[in-house]
Structure 1
Amino acid sequence: MNRSTPRSPGSIRRSLALLAASALTISLAACSSAGSGADAAADERPVVLTTFTVLADIAENVAGDHLRVESITKVGAEIHGYEPTPGDIRKASEADLILDNGMNLEAWFGQFVEGLDVPHVVVSEGVETMDISEDAYAGLPNPHAWMSPVNVQIYVDNMVEAFSELDPENASAFEANGEAYKAELQSVQDELVEELSVLPANQRALVTCEGAFSYLARDAGLTEKYIWAVNAEQQATPQQITSAIEFVRANDVPAVFCESTVSDAPMQQVVEATDAVFGGTLYVDSLSEADGPVPTYLDLIRHDATVIIDALTGQQS
């Protein structure tokens, strides 16, 4: 089991000095939240803290009722550049286990856990990584491994092992939950591959705004093309848009897509310049609220698979 902390490239948004200073407010934060946290205090189950909502939902499916699973970030939060709060530090210090994705996704995570006497596990351990091929991040692993149902089965195995070590009495339950959940993941994967198999080879392409679907494309037998490699504040460049247009034209790609967290305006330029239609919005980094379109990871990956299948095969309503 990997308990090492992955180091992130470039600068970290929070310095150790800031984290140390914020520790002065932790006791106050704990006092102010004592009333609202009464139910949690009465819950004696071991606490598993994840870095974002997707991991929390997967972990809840493996844990069942035996562990209390929480997410550091909230629904809709931008995980890449998240800045931990004093409350986050307090929650982490009180956790029994912390789960992170790794692959440099959580650029803030290394300093966040430094100094905490809490074990942590990198749930992407064992995934066959794919490197980012463009921009400033070229050569680094693409962190969006959870976008493949095949990879998430590896996440599940890592969680089963970690939870069984944390709570040995319920190891058999964790294993059974994990196997049932992996069966659902494999069902999504099988449907995606089968439904897309009718497409001509050149049209088996997934064109998106961000390069967040490398693993899904690889495992579904699709060629990936994106406008930009990693989400950034600046707009897409004319060269990036032109490259996408040329790819869509050359391969007669029937539909293109964009993610929920960014503007689809650049991709609409691709639509206007080609015969492709806008296939729909895909979800990646965060779940929705309970009444939203993707309240669970299985909802997210099923939604994305359905949108991709319907648009590429001409079944889009």
Structure 2
Amino acid sequence: MKLPLVATLAALLALPAQAEQLKVATTFTIIADMARNVAGEAATVESITKPGAEIHNYQPTSGDLIRAADADLILVNGLNLESWFQQFIDQLGDVPVAVVSDGIQPMSITGGDYDGKPNPHAWMALDSALVYVDNIATAMATADPDNAATYLANADAYKAQITQTIAPLRDAARALPPDRRWLVTSEGAFSYLARDFGLQELYLWPINADAQGTPQQVRHVIDVMRQNDIGVVFSESTVSDRPARRIASETGAAYGGVLYVDSLSEADGPVPTYLDLLRVTSETIVNGLGG
């Protein structure tokens, strides 16, 4: 028997109101994916920048501010990465902002205009990744105490997954002969990974350098590679691979392939999740150095 319309509406109105989900905004896709793994079904997460965006010198739009305006929590990397976002934070009032790199020992940029400033790419190492996840879970639990147990449990499961995937690759890198433990890249974006994996780092240009792939930079890397008999060189997905390939050609080294660092790909791309990005980059490095 069907209830009259008025009775049906009255019954619906009498139901307890559903609590709104925690709304989380992040500055870029990598933190967003981490946060979604911690949130599960308990919160919604949106990245202000899109897949493939250049996050260092991003030019924010009015639409970015709209996406962040109704957030209950904003997650930022810190370490001077999101200076472009500060103007937005100032306009958002009292929305809580959590810095997910808190507690990580910063590494400094060497060379260029940002010499001595913190290298922001802390998410590229296993040890740091676990700190990020803990910070995200703590921030969510603080903003949404009713679901704190869910966030903390999801974080523990996610950390176990990251560790299970990356720890064997880190162990393999650390087990390489010392003369093979050189990570040569285009940009100095892998300092934390190199520290974590027990590798020496060599790169063409420091982070955010205006000059990229100059003859002087190429010559310096060629000289160091020849002096140390380094056999492989890599480049990042967001820059041209021409300088790295030229170095490989002139030194007789192998071109080891593409590394991912700053942004996730679209869902059908090579690194649609943070774990994919860390795994693919780590595998490429270990396989390249292992010969």
Q: Same fold (TM over 0.5)?
A: yes
Q: CA deviation at 1:212?
A: 0.4
Q: Who is 1:306 aligned against?
A: 283
Q: Who is 2:36 aligned against?
A: 60
Pick from 195, 201, 205 the counterpart of residue 218 of structure 1. 195
Q: Who is 2:80 aligned against?
A: 104
Pick from 260, 267, 277 the counterpart of residue 254 of structure 2. 277
Instruction: Tell me, yes or no, if structure 1 residue 291 matches structure 2 residue 268.
Output: yes
Instruction: Tell me, yes or no, if structure 1 residue 183 matches structure 2 residue 164.
Output: no
Aligned AA for 1:53? T
Pick from 219, 229, 235 the counterpart of residue 252 of structure 1. 229
Pick from 213, 216, 236 the counterpart of residue 239 of structure 1. 216
Q: Is the CA contact (8 Å cut-off) linking 2:174 and 2:197 kept in structure 1?
A: no
Q: Who is 1:144 aligned against?
A: 121
Q: Who is 1:33 aligned against?
A: none
Q: Who is 1:92 aligned against?
A: 68
1:120-199 aligned at under 5 Å gives the runs 120-199=97-176
Aligned AA for 1:47? K
SS at 1:108's partner residue? helix
Q: Who is 2:14 aligned against?
A: none
Q: CA deviation at 1:275?
A: 2.3
Q: Who is 2:4 aligned against?
A: none
Q: Is the CA contact (8 Å cut-off) linking 1:202 and 1:253 kept in structure 2?
A: yes
1:8-87 aligned at under 5 Å gives the runs 44-87=20-63
Aligned AA for 2:182? A
Q: Percent identity?
A: 53
Aligned AA for 1:164? A
Distance verdict in 2 for CA 1:43–1:247, change over 3 Å = farther
- Higher gyration radius (CA): 2
Q: Distance in 1 between matches of 2:224 and 2:88?
A: 41
Q: Is the CA contact (8 Å cut-off) linking 2:204 and 2:212 kept in structure 1?
A: no
Q: Who is 1:116 aligned against?
A: 92
- Provide TM-score, normalisation by structure 2: 0.90
Aligned AA for 1:199? L
Q: Is the CA contact (8 Å cut-off) linking 2:134 and 2:155 kept in structure 1?
A: yes
Structure 2: gaps of 5 or more residues: 1-17
CA root-mean-square deviation: 1.5
Q: Distance in 2 between matches of 1:79 and 1:197?
A: 30
- Matched residue count: 273
SS at 2:91's partner residue? coil
SS at 1:131's partner residue? coil
Q: Deviations over 1:20-41 (max 9, x none)?
A: xxxxxxxxxxxxxxxxxxxxxx
- Provide TM-score, normalisation by structure 1: 0.83
Q: Distance in 2 between matches of 1:82 and 1:308?
A: 28
Distance verdict in 2 for CA 1:278–1:43, change over 3 Å = farther
Structure 1: gaps of 5 or more residues: 1-41
Q: Distance in 1 between matches of 2:42 and 2:162?
A: 22
Q: Distance in 1 between matches of 2:191 and 2:19?
A: 40
Q: CA deviation at 1:199?
A: 2.3
Aligned AA for 2:249? E
Q: CA deviation at 1:43?
A: 9.6
Q: Is the CA contact (8 Å cut-off) linking 1:287 and 1:300 kept in structure 2?
A: yes
